[in-house]
């Protein structure tokens, strides 16, 4: 993982300039000014919006304040998706800052899960980590960790501490030397406005003859519609979001798909 450290830091410290505006549907005692934040791509809304919440509650009566939720262009934003994933899915082609509406009433029960405490975010995040390690190491690494290691991993994410997080996460990214890599690559491919929330299949890091698979190999197997044929090169192609348990990045496919799968995934 040492060779990837600069990439890891670039992914971790990626930020999205965001403008939060209180919805006009909310009842206020005076006009609410917009609130601006630089949001970490790898974090979750409920971990980084406490200041915005307090800012808007100052102009509201306590009895009018319900569970906070966010909307972008009429679409409720899922709190259990990382911020970078939400931006890439819904707003990557828009001008910055990212303009988000804040609501405290009329919670969209059919579109969103409730999240009243950060404990729910922690439970979801650790569930994703455990699922990924089951694919990579048959859960051996995560099960051998102590409770304090799990807590350090979570607190590193919650408090935006790169070194604290990766001191533990690097153990989850180590490949058994005798096996030549993980059992399977944990990934999800998200497509904007698709009926299926994501594509997720078993995919080994090595081919049967022991050669490392590339990103193009993965896409050809699990998302062939996104791979350009000779006649489609240079034309518009489907855009997808490839997410792992530690990072999220968007891609627009190009002919050069032979690059290896990044180790920091």
Looking at 49, 71, 103, the residue that finishes a domain is 103
Report pLDDT digits (tens) over 44-54.
Answer: 999 999 999 99
Structurally, the chain folds into a number of domains equal to 3
Task: Please indicate, yes or no, whether residues 36 and 96 belong to a single structural domain of this protein.
Answer: yes
Task: Please indicate, yes or no, whether residues 214 and 184 belong to a single structural domain of this protein.
Answer: yes
The enclosing domain of 123 has a CATH number of 1.10.246.190
Domain hosting 123: range is 118-173
Task: Please indicate, yes or no, whether residues 60 and 30 belong to a single structural domain of this protein.
Answer: yes
Collect contacts of 227-236 with beta carbons under 8 A, ≥24 apart: 227/253, 227/257, 228/253, 228/254, 228/255
This prediction has a pTM of 0.85
Residue 13's φ and ψ, nearest 5 degrees, are: -90, 15
Residue 262 is predicted with a pLDDT of 46
Task: Please indicate, yes or no, whether residues 149 and 219 belong to a single structural domain of this protein.
Answer: no
Residue 17's φ and ψ, nearest 5 degrees, are: -65, 125
Report pLDDT digits (tens) over 53-111.
Answer: 999 999 998 888 999 999 999 999 999 999 999 999 999 888 999 999 999 999 999 99
Looking at 103, 138, 161, the residue that finishes a domain is 103
Residue 254 is predicted with a pLDDT of 41
Mean pLDDT of the residues in the chain:
85
pLDDT above 60 (res 206): yes
Query: Is position 152 within any domain?
Result: yes
133: Cβ contacts below 8 Å, ≥ 6 apart: 139, 140, 141, 142, 172
Query: How many other CB atoms are found less than 10 A from the CB of residue 143?
Result: 11
Peptide bond into 97 cis (omega under 30): yes
Report pLDDT digits (tens) over 210-247.
Answer: 899 888 899 899 988 877 765 444 444 445 555 555 44
The one-character DSSP state at 206 is B
Task: Please indicate, yes or no, whether residues 153 and 193 belong to a single structural domain of this protein.
Answer: no
| Sign of the torsion formed by the C-alpha atoms of 228, 229, 230 and 234 | negative
Give the SS3 label for residue 20.
strand
Q: In this structure, what token pair is assigned to residue 43? A: 């974090």
The enclosing domain of 86 has a CATH number of 3.10.20.620
Residue 235 is predicted with a pLDDT of 44
Q: In this structure, what token pair is assigned to residue 204? A: 């080994």
Share of the chain above pLDDT 90, in %: 62
Residue ranges in 68-146 assigned as alpha helix (H): 83-90, 118-137, 140-144
Looking at 69, 103, 137, the residue that finishes a domain is 103
Report pLDDT digits (tens) over 141-185.
Answer: 999 999 999 999 999 999 999 999 999 999 999 887 656 678 999
Query: Is position 96 within any domain?
Result: yes
Query: Is position 31 within any domain?
Result: yes
Q: Can you tell me which residue has the tokens 């698979």?
A: 213
As a residue count, the chain comes to: 265
pLDDT above 80 (res 257): no
Task: Please indicate, yes or no, whether residues 97 and 33 belong to a single structural domain of this protein.
Answer: yes
Higher pLDDT, residue 252 or 189: 189
Query: Is position 156 within any domain?
Result: yes
Give the SS3 label for residue 71.
strand
Task: Please indicate, yes or no, whether residues 216 and 251 belong to a single structural domain of this protein.
Answer: yes
The enclosing domain of 219 has a CATH number of 3.10.20.90
pLDDT above 80 (res 38): yes
């Amino acid at each position: 993982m040492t060779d990837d450290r600069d990439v890891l830091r670039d992914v971790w410290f990626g930020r999205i300039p965001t403008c939060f505006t209180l919805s006009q549907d909310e009842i206020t005692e005076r006009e609410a000014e917009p609130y601006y934040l630089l949001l970490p791509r790898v974090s979750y809304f409920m971990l980084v919006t406490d200041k915005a919440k307090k800012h808007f509650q100052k102009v509201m009566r306590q009895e009018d304040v319900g569970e906070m939720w966010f909307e972008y262009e009429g679409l409720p934003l899922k709190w259990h998706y990382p911020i970078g994933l939400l931006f890439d899915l819904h707003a990557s082609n828009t001008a910055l800052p990212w303009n988000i509406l804040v609501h405290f009433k009329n919670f969209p029960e059919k579109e969103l899960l409730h999240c009243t405490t950060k404990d729910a975010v922690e439970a979801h995040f650790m569930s994703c980590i455990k699922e990924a390690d089951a694919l990579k190491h048959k859960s051996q690494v995560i099960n051998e960790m102590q409770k304090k290691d799990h807590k350090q991993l979570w607190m590193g994410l919650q408090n935006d501490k790169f070194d604290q997080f990766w001191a533990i996460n690097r153990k989850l990214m180590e490949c058994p030397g005798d096996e030549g890599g993980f059992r399977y690559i944990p990934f999800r491919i998200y497509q904007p406005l698709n009926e299926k929330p994501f594509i997720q299949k078993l995919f080994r890091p090595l081919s049967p003859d022991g050669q490392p698979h590339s990103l193009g190999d993965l896409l050809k197997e699990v998302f062939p519609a996104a791979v350009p044929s000779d006649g489609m090169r240079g034309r518009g192609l489907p855009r997808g979001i490839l997410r792992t348990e530690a990072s999220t990045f968007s891609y627009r496919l190009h002919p050069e798909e032979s690059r290896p799968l990044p180790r920091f995934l």
